[in-house]
Amino acid sequence: MKKILIFGAGRSSIYLIEYLLDHAQEGGWKVVIADINLESAIQRLNGHPSGMAISLDTLNESARKSAINEADLVISLMPPNLHQTIAEDCLEFGKNLLTASYISPNLSVLKEKVMEKGLIFLGEMGLDPGIDHMSAMEKIHDIQSKGGKVVSFKSYTGGLVAPESDDNPWNYKISWNPKNVVLAGQGIAQFLEHGAIRYLPYNRIFKEVSTIQFPELGDREVYANRNSLSYIDLYGLNEAKTVIRGTIRHPGFIEAWDAICSLGFTDDTTPVLIKNGTTYSELTCSFLGIRNKNPRLGFAEFLGINTEHIILDKIEWLGLFSDEKILGFSHDGKLGYTQTTIAEVLQNLMVEKWKLNPSDKDLILMQHEFIYELNGKIKKLYSSLILKGEDHQYTAMAKTVGLPLAIFAKLLMSGLKYEPGIHIPLDKWIYEPVLRELEKNGIQFIETEEELAF
Amino acid sequence: MKKILIFGAGRSSIYLIEYLLDHAQEGGWKVVIADINLESAIQRLNGHPSGMAISLDTLNESARKSAINEADLVISLMPPNLHQTIAEDCLEFGKNLLTASYISPNLSVLKEKVMEKGLIFLGEMGLDPGIDHMSAMEKIHDIQSKGGKVVSFKSYTGGLVAPESDDNPWNYKISWNPKNVVLAGQGIAQFLEHGAIRYLPYNRIFKEVSTIQFPELGDREVYANRNSLSYIDLYGLNEAKTVIRGTIRHPGFIEAWDAICSLGFTDDTTPVLIKNGTTYSELTCSFLGIRNKNPRLGFAEFLGINTEHIILDKIEWLGLFSDEKILGFSHDGKLGYTQTTIAEVLQNLMVEKWKLNPSDKDLILMQHEFIYELNGKIKKLYSSLILKGEDHQYTAMAKTVGLPLAIFAKLLMSGLKYEPGIHIPLDKWIYEPVLRELEKNGIQFIETEEELAF
């Protein structure tokens, strides 16, 4: 019997594994769930007869190679740095490989060899990147095939909390990698706006906020995300005057997050010495440069805002003004210092405060805005996805990251004719069948279109 | 005959090599100058009979090991990442090692083995780190030996341009690694001020400027530099309420540099896509987010200053408003993009603009300010170094980086009794003879002391 080998049984694997187990009998395959923690793999298998759980350390070369050699298809949910090793083994043993991660420059180098062996390595097959590519490309191809010209493309994604589970002043909970939440926006965002290139560095990224609307949910705020310029070529948008990708947050989140960044609390490059026994309040005061003062008052002065401002309520709720000792930190009796990064201190706090409770539902939002010319008219098309999770395990995040991989795995195992090589899901032969199957699983975009009058 | 092996014949090696060659005959040693570029080594040797120039790629294991095995003492001026390999070979062949770089955590691990073999590895033996350690520790030990207590320690260093060679509005030229000039201040500065710990992140580091005075030269400005907290233990300053180390610049430099940082031009983490043919003016406008506008006017609005402000004169002089195409950049005819970092674009420009001309003299400034209690009195002691270079090769920077290494090498070769282990120059048996010999070579601190009245 054929085998699908999955590396990683972490929280983004739940829908992926269930889908593949559910279709295993009709498809005639077995699902091998490999994780360094056997318990996690067993839990994901959940006693299903069409699979098996194995303990596997990806860094153990012989165990890894042997598992890959026995598989017919490999799916990697490992951290990006481990994909390369897995990919090289897949090449050696002639196995197809699917991941939700970006294709690294190192991986791209294997392109020719992957083609020669007639294999497919498909990356960026999750939510963002993944569903964003597929849903945007379907519309772009559709517009272009009618003779239309895309003059503006904006695309936003956010992993948030559903309104019914939203019980904190940030209107936010963490459904994905908390480290990425802390480091979001670092570097320089790059995009095209009204024909001009814009570079927006970290110190200003959260100060340029726009508002978008979702049917029924109402307003959300967005900021520009990483490198949108590379999407001009990638998506074939050479006639567009505006190409912007961004991140969605609840109104008010971004300005408060900007305050935390301004204070310096998201730096992960510098080991800082923090005195044992230090409280959050003291730490905040050390960054504000104030002594014997109320940190809320000091922060208000630092930001030049009223002491009753809602930004300060948010920061206070997060715990930065509290007299608690710093979480996840050495507080031994010696009058010493612990070395850490301030980003790690913040992350430890956020993971506690922004935790999804067992019955909490997360929320995935995605919206593309296309402006295009067709037959002398200018039209504006919105394509939006609103997806709520079930609970803290069956999250919309896990569903949207896992199902594209699972569906494409099923297609491959069912004999889909593919173009050999290293791909991301931009082509119709990939996105078309996957989007239709996602729709059947409740991941469906809503479209509204209007003609612009001049 | 004994041999001193020097790795690296770059611009910081000129005084080091000349000193060792000059003392070779009386000392009875030969100087082996090893560089990947044989020409550089030959140029440094300058036909001196007591030395030899060899071509050596530090990454070539057999050549490196063989050269080290034949030496009696090794001095490494290589980039810090190559010290480790050299250090491991020195340990293997039982050779002493001197460098001007920081002792890395990886190098510290070798400590026990270095002691067991009776060797000395001495790091941080240049200017800063180096002369700063030695000159400060001599004063601290002096104060403490009299029963005094240091309650405040401030220490500043700067590599600048001498007034007679100062012909640009920044009052600055580059005498050291230009990359470090671009990245200066990144991360979080940490220091102790009036008993309270301060953390100062990059977005505010250049906004907290203090003024210090130098005899005859007048005022200079300073900003806090990296981690001063670790110097509390290192220098035995546990009773001090203030411990700050910083960097010296000419008045007005720091506020203008802050403007460039605010714009985002010092980011070296993000590859940015820049359209071929882009001019500096266009690039600046893309960061400012303005179109069809004067970049000087746009920058003035961005900073909230008058268009006649001297900050803008400085930035204009540097070339950020110019219609020249970007230096060191691909400008081929294809309508494509070149990927680089904005820090690299800025560095290429700065290296041209802030170049030392052949007859230019650089300037090293260092100042320690000690406040200490002794016999019920409070005293303030300034210890200052002002050193001008000769020309663009015989720089004060090369002299202050190279001579401490050269002098300690001479001491070792002359039979100095040392404590085996990995050291930095904090102990009297190291700094005392070195400081006296530096004085003979014109590197002399001036002291002024006053009693503080209350």
Asked if residue B137 has pLDDT above 90, the reply is yes
Calculate the average pLDDT of chain B. Answer: 96
* Interface contact B263, partner A, CB < 8 A: yes
Nearest-CA distance from A272 to chain B in Å?
7
Token digits of residue A241:
């005057």
Among candidates B346, B337, B201, B77, which has minimal Cα distance to A263?
B201
Nearest-CA distance from B112 to chain A in Å?
23
Instruction: Give bridge partners of residue B213 from the DSSP assignment.
Output: B219
CA-nearest residue to B274 within chain A is A197
* pLDDT score of B400: 98
Secondary structure letter of residue B432 according to DSSP: H
Asked if residue B62 has pLDDT above 90, the reply is yes
Among A78-87, A285-294, A301-310, the range of highest mean pLDDT: A301-310
Contacts of A289 in chain B (CB under 8 A): 198, 200, 208
Asked if residue B181 has pLDDT above 90, the reply is yes
Angle at A258 between CA A79 and CA B188, to 5 degrees: 75
Interchain pair A273, B190: CB under 8 A: yes
The 3 state secondary structure assigned to chain A is: CEEEEEECCCHHHHHHHHHHHHCHHHHCEEEEEEECCHHHHHHHHCCCCCEEEEECCCCCHHHHHHHHHHCCEEEECCCHHHHHHHHHHHHHHCCEEEECCCCCHHHHCCHHHHHHCCCEEECCCEECCEHHHHHHHHHHHHHHHCCCEEEEEEEEEEEEECHHHCCCCCCCCCCCCHHHHHHCCCCEEEEEECCEEEEEEHHHHCCCCEEEEECCCEEEEEEECCECCHHHHHCCCCCCCEEEEEEEECCCHHHHHHHHHHHCCCCCCCCEEEECCCEHHHHHHHHHCCCCCCHHHHHHHHHCCCCCCHHHHHHHHHCCCCCCECCCCCCCCCCCEEEECHHHHHHHHHHHHCCCCCCCCEEEEEEEEEEEEECCEEEEEEEEEEEECCCCCCCHHHHHHHHHHHHHHHHHHCCCCCCCEEECCCCHHHHHHHHHHHHHCCCCEEEEEEECCC
pLDDT tens sequence across B381-410: 999 999 999 999 999 999 999 999 999 999
Could you tell me the pLDDT band of residue A341, with boundaries at 50, 70 and 90? very high
Asked if residue A80 has pLDDT above 90, the reply is no
* Interface contact A299, partner B, CB < 8 A: no
Token digits of residue B429:
């048996």
Nearest-CA distance from A289 to chain B in Å?
6
Residue percentage of chain B with pLDDT more than 70 = 99
Residue of B270, B283, B285, B335 to mutate for A, most A C-beta atoms under 10 A: B270
ipTM: 0.91
* Interface contact B339, partner A, CB < 8 A: no
CB contacts under 8 A, A 398-427 vs B, are none
Burial class (CB in 10 A: 0-12, 13-18, 19+), B390: middle
Nearest-CA distance from B263 to chain A in Å?
7
pLDDT tens sequence across A357-404: 999 999 999 999 999 999 999 999 999 999 999 999 999 999 999 999
Nearest-CA distance from B210 to chain A in Å?
15
* pLDDT score of A335: 65
Nearest-CA distance from A268 to chain B in Å?
8
Distance CA B257, CA A288 (A): 22
* pLDDT score of A389: 98
pLDDT tens sequence across B310-339: 999 999 999 999 999 998 888 876 668 899
Residue percentage of chain B with pLDDT more than 90 = 94
* pLDDT score of A333: 64
Give the torsion sign (CA, B142, B144, B150, B154): positive
Interchain pair B198, A229: CB under 8 A: no
Interchain pair B286, A188: CB under 8 A: no
pLDDT tens sequence across B199-211: 999 999 999 999 9
CA-nearest residue to A198 within chain B is B286
Phi-psi region of A292 (alpha: psi -120 to 50; beta: other; left: phi over 0): left
Q: What is the mean pLDDT of residues A327-338?
A: 79
* Interface contact B289, partner A, CB < 8 A: yes
* pLDDT score of A397: 97
Nearest-CA distance from B428 to chain A in Å?
27
Crossing angle of helices B396-413 and B14-22, in 10° steps, is 40
Interchain pair B267, A230: CB under 8 A: no
Q: What is the mean pLDDT of residues A86-114?
A: 95
Calculate the average pLDDT of chain A. Answer: 96
Could you tell me the pLDDT band of residue A121, with boundaries at 50, 70 and 90? very high
Interchain pair A269, B186: CB under 8 A: yes
Size of interface A-B (CB pairs under 8 A): 93
* pLDDT score of B335: 65
CA-nearest residue to A260 within chain B is B201
Choose among B187, B196, B270: nearest Cβ to A188: B270
First to last CA, chain A: 63
Helix then strand count (H, E) for chain B reads 18, 18
pLDDT tens sequence across B276-309: 999 999 999 999 999 877 999 999 999 999 999 9
Interchain pair B198, A289: CB under 8 A: yes
Task: Answer yes or no: are the C-beta atoms of B44 and B402 closer than 8 Å.
Answer: no
Could you tell me the pLDDT band of residue A291, with boundaries at 50, 70 and 90? confident
The total of other beta-carbon atoms located within 10 Å of residue B267's CB is 22
* pLDDT score of A293: 79
pLDDT tens sequence across A244-260: 999 999 999 999 999 99
* pLDDT score of B333: 64
Choose among B186, B201, B275: nearest Cβ to A197: B275
Residue of B186, B188, B245, B302 to mutate for A, most A C-beta atoms under 10 A: B188
pLDDT tens sequence across B182-192: 999 999 999 99
Q: What is the mean pLDDT of residues B51-56?
A: 97
* Interface contact A194, partner B, CB < 8 A: yes
